[in-house]
Structure 1
Amino acid sequence: MKALLLNNRLTSLSLIVLLWLTAAAVQAQSLPDFTNLVETYSPSVVNISTKQHKTVPGRLNRDFQIPDLPEGSPLNEFFRHFFGEGQGQDEPREYDARSLGSGFIISDDGYIMTNFHVVNGADEILVRLSDRREFIAKVIGMDKTSDIALLKIDATELPKVKIGTTYNLKVGEWVLAIGSPFGFDHSVTAGIVSAKGRSLPNENYVPFIQTDVAINPGNSGGPLFNLEGEVVGINSQIYSRTGGFMGLSFAIPIELAMNVVDQLRTSGEVKRGWLGVMIQDVTRELAKSFGMQYPYGALIAKVVPGSPSEKAGLEVGDVILKYNGTKLESSSMLQHLVGASRIDKPAELEILRNGERKTVKVNIGELKNDMAQGGMEEPAQESLSRLGMSVVELDKEIRSLYKLDGIKGVFVQSVNNGAAKNAGIEPGDVIQMINRVRVSTVKEFDEAVKDLPKGSTVAVLIHRRNGARFIPLQVPKE
């Protein structure tokens, strides 16, 4: 009986071990193997080092006495460099600043893609291949907005990468980066796609791919591969509180990069589409005021005079829902799509206006910086509305003081406790529209406020510090 019990226990233990080994094997098989990808495409990745000649002042203070520090102290070299004694110490000093980055070969005749910030300002660009050959590179073109640069080296029959697409790239998918972090050539790191279409501050025209691939200084300009060995992005930025990797890396989508490279290669400059509107996200409250079931799209807060949008009949308060059939989950998507559009070609927009869906065709213009406006002067009048704010008309003195030339609306003079304050309206704002009704005089403002349904949420268009935006306002119930 004891022998039978022992055999049963051994059988159970064997079964457990077998199940554990099977589970481990299945888990191991589910993890990707990058070895073939690295062996095939790492020769296409290059190390880029730059040299920039700089001049710095001599001694910072000719009367400064170097302190008596212990021999071997690291501060000795610091004080000698900036406060050193001897002939010529007051003269400017020259030195060569060096930096490192990465890049990758996109054609076998020597065209190389990298980041703008890797080679910007460089007096000399040295490209080192995986076989240790070195070449002085020529800059074909650079584009600061997209952070893309195109280089050329005098070589042929080079190993090149395979260009992929981000259209089928999925969040959670494995990706791999090859680059030169801190100067360590051909370092390989892997991770997953964390998000797509990510907008970053001051980066309106790049829908970044966010990953958790370890990226550090020196990785910039290197390729981001999918499991098929195709380049889907260019590693460009990281989010960090320390200067090193913290799990948030951002890559430029390859479609955008190749579009920029093609333009640089053919014309040496990059042109971007321009719609001529100032937009903002549709919040939950604003969506409710527009009769939308949930928030999405791009809300037009301003139409630039003479722009493609004005010529197409777009209006302030329109919500752009789709651009050439692509649904706008956020307003930033519109900037990305318009920027990548071809100049002087029509684009089809689906908009929401006064609760009705319409289709509008816009002939895309070229992005420019001149947006001059003209305006009219109005006599000053004052009104204290039931919304808890005092408004006056925009007279010559207010326009001059607050630089409001060309702006139409009523000027918020003061804000008391109430609906306006709760909505975030501030003294100095200009009310331009309430509940889809344009207001340019105090009388029009009073009429619009009087007709607001009690307890409703309405959209108010304000102009604040050279920018226009809609804010939701809760009308008092009494």
Structure 2
Amino acid sequence: MTFTLVPPAVRRTFVAATMALLAGAVAAPYVAVPALAQDKPKIAPQAQTPVQPPRLAPQGPASVADLAEGLLGAVVNISTSQTVKGGEGPGAVPMPQLPEGSPFQDFFDDFFKNRQGNKDGEGGGGGGGGSQKVQSLGSGFVVDAEKGIIVTNNHVIADADEIEVNFSDGSKLKATLKGTDTKTDIAVLQVDPKGKKLTAVNFGDSNKMRIGDWVMAVGNPFGLGGTVTVGIISARNRDINSGPYDDFIQTDAAINRGNSGGPLFNMEGEVVGINTAIISPSGGSIGIGFSIPSELAAGVVAQLSEFGETRRGWLGVRIQPVTDEIAESLGMKSAKGALVAGVIKGGPVDNGSIQPGDVITKFDGKDVHEMRDLPRVVAESPVGKAVDVLIVRKGVEQTVKVTLGRLEDGEKLSQDEEDKPAQGEGDSGAVATASVLGMTIGELNDEARKKFEIGAEVSGVVVTEVAPNSAASARGILAGEVITEIAQESVSSPKDVMDRIGALKEQGRKNALLMLASKSGELRFVTVRMD
């Protein structure tokens, strides 16, 4: 690279000109451009209104100190103890034998001395053989100061022999268990309100919370005591497969071990969620926490406080998702709603008001966008309430009215039905078989019932064999299942099956909707490609 030196005279001229320009720039807001003709007047500097900077969107609360100060007294630390038989209980894991001086020795020593754990890692001490006390820590909050009602997670106090509530001022009270709900992981405790003046907080409306709204979590991470963290709502309606009513709020407010059961506040100081679970490969917060929305929690807390148990509405149907293939088979424009796969005998809709094959798209005025929406809206409805249900039956929308039963009674009824022994009786007859859609099908006679252990209450056409890599195999159909309906029409013989498949092909259908029954009579729908 070649460098060219500037002559000294030129350098001096350039420096002088530059200094003059800089001096002019300091003296006036604008630098006047020299006129090309000498007789033109020079432009005088003009007064300039200062340019206003662009307004920025609010960047969050300037401080949550005032908000936190008023709420810390209502948030409690929960300590439980449980007597366990160390090292001898079912599922106990033996201490691994490690080489002398192994770097993992301390890790395993700590782990096996602190085995007690919960969803987001609440845990405590205890180890060795014989009976011992195992400690567990979690969080909670007061919702009724006059009655001493405290809310927490069920997994925080599960199997506890003793429960102690620790308040922010250092005082402690023994707590009794009012009720629990394992489906939503909520527990309600009670302390003697005469023993201390309590501060309570109220539930807010979680439905009003939007993605991006600021929230504040308060709890007892790692047993440190009242700790405040702030973040936003990252997502809504999360399903983490923890229960039938999953509808979690996701937040990036730091939630760690010990935060379970603590409140998630909005910026008005209302509880919009109960912090319950985290996703973390390390055990600490990585900004993915989940809270039970107050819309779901408030009703459960009210029932547990009043009755000591939940009293949920019950429809008495078995359901499954509506896939694109099922929607096409039913003549629906889009895949939405919950497909009724079966009706429980003795249930609220055993009168024929709702039938297998119906698709429920709206319940009591609330849209059912997907299958998991239905159990939640039904459970939140009062027992005995008469509601309108919008269904699609054979491609036609219609509204039916049903009266809800009680879920807890329905669960017992369903269990009794499943426990009934199968009756091995059936009509005898010659075995006729056919091959269709990769399945070998046959009449459901005594021999077939005995071979596949199919109960007498199941009727239809039995699948005796499924060809590998066939359309039926791809949909998970198994030998021993019974085809009871095709395209919502009953079938009782292999000929019926062949006729129905042929009719669907003539109509230009690409998929056949099959209702299948297991040997115990449990129903499900599958769609099988016919080409």
Bin for the TM-score computed over the shorter chain: 0.7 to 0.9
| Matched residue, 2:226 | 186
User: Take 1:469 and 1:6, find their aligned partners in 2: how far apart are those partners?
Assistant: 86
Task: Tell me, yes or no, if the aligned pair for 1:455 and 1:474 is still in contact at 8 Å.
Answer: no
Corresponding residue for residue 439 of structure 2: 389
TM-score, length of structure 1 as denominator length: 0.85
Aligned to 1:56: 86
State whether residues 199 and 332 of structure 1, in contact with CA within 8 Å, keep that contact through their aligned partners in structure 2.
Answer: no
SS in 2 for 1:315: coil
1:210 equivalent in structure 2: 250
Equivalent positions of 1:6-155 (< 5 A) are 22=53, 26=56, 29-33=58-62, 34-56=64-86, 93-109=130-146, 110-155=148-193
Query: Cα–Cα, structure 1 residues 247 and 455, in superposed 2: closer, same or farther, change >3 Å?
Result: same
Q: Whose strand proportion is higher, 1 or 2?
A: 1
- The aligned counterpart of 2:310 is 270
Counterpart Cα distance in 2 of 1:355 and 1:304: 23
Deviation at 1:298, TM superposition (A): 0.3
SS in 2 for 1:126: strand
Deviation by residue 1:356-376 (Cα, 9 ceiling, x = unmatched):
110011111112232327877
Matched with 2:512 is: 458
Q: In 2, Cα distance between the equivalents of 1:162 and 1:265? A: 15
Does residue 430 in structure 1 map to residue 479 in structure 2?
no
Which one-letter code corresponds to 1:131 in the other structure?
Answer: D
3-state SS of the aligned residue for 1:26?
Answer: coil
- The change in CA–CA distance for 1:285 and 1:247 in structure 2 (over 3 A counts) is farther
Given that 2:232 and 2:252 are in contact with CA atoms closer than 8 Å, whether structure 1 keeps it comes out as yes
CA distance, structure 2, for counterparts of residue 402 and residue 295 of structure 1:
34
RMSD over aligned CA atoms reads 3.3
1:103 is paired with a residue of what secondary structure?
strand
Are 1:228 and 2:268 counterparts?
yes
Deviation of 1:179 after TM superposition, in Å, equals 0.6
Q: Does 2:468 align with 1:414?
A: no
SS in 2 for 1:444: helix
Contact preservation (8 Å) 2:325, 2:511: yes
Letter in 1 for 2:435: S
Distance in 1 (alpha carbons) for counterparts of 2:336 and 2:232:
27
Equivalent-residue separation in structure 1 for 2:220 and 2:272 (angstroms): 18
Q: Distance in 1 between matches of 2:437 and 2:87?
A: 60
Matched position secondary structure for 2:225: coil
Point out where structure 2 has 5 or more consecutive residues left out of the alignment: 1-16, 31-49, 89-96, 114-127
Pairing partner for 1:377 from 409, 416, 426: 426
Q: CA deviation at 1:57?
A: 5.6
Task: Tell me if 1:163 matches 2:206.
Answer: no
Deviation at 1:418, TM superposition (A): 4.3
- Select the residue among 457, 469, 472 that pairs with 2:527: 472
**Equivalent pair of 1:205/1:336 in contact (CA under 8 Å):** yes
Larger Cα-atom Rg: 2
Q: Judge which range, 172-181 or 347-356, deviates more.
A: 172-181
Which deviates further from its counterpart, 113-122 or 383-392?
383-392
In 1, distance between residues paired with 2:104 and 2:356? 66
Q: Find out whether 1:448 has 2:503 as its counterpart.
A: no
Counterpart of 1:385 in 2: which secondary structure?
A: strand
Aligned length: 452
Could you list the runs of 5+ residues in structure 1 that have no partner in the other structure? 13-17, 59-65, 83-90
Q: Which residue of 2 aligns with 1:315?
A: 355
The answer to which of 400-409 and 274-283 deviates more is 400-409
Contact 1:312 1:361 in 2 (8 A): no
In structure 1, give the amino acid aligned to 2:349: S
Q: Percent identity?
A: 38
User: Larger deviation: 47-56 or 192-201?
Assistant: 192-201
2:274–2:293 CA contact under 8 A, matched in 1: yes
CA–CA distance in structure 2, aligned partners of residues 403 and 190 of structure 1: 58
Q: Is the 8 A contact 1:276 1:308 kept in 2?
A: yes
Partner of 1:62: none
Alpha-carbon spacing, 1:286–1:69, altered in 2? closer, same or farther (3 Å): closer
TM-score, normalised via structure 2 length? 0.77
Looking at structure 2, the residues matched to 341 and 178 of structure 1 have their Cα atoms a distance apart, in angstroms, of: 31
Residue type of the alignment partner of 2:289: S
Q: Is the 8 A contact 1:382 1:390 kept in 2?
A: no
- Paired with 1:51 and 1:471, the residues of 2 have a C-alpha distance of 49
Report the alpha carbon displacement of residue 449 of structure 1 after superposing the two structures with TM: 1.9
Residues 175 and 302 of structure 1: is their aligned pair in 2 closer, same or farther, counting only changes over 3 Å? same
CA contact (8 A) 1:115 1:221 kept: yes
- CA distance 1:468–1:73, change in 2 (3 Å): closer
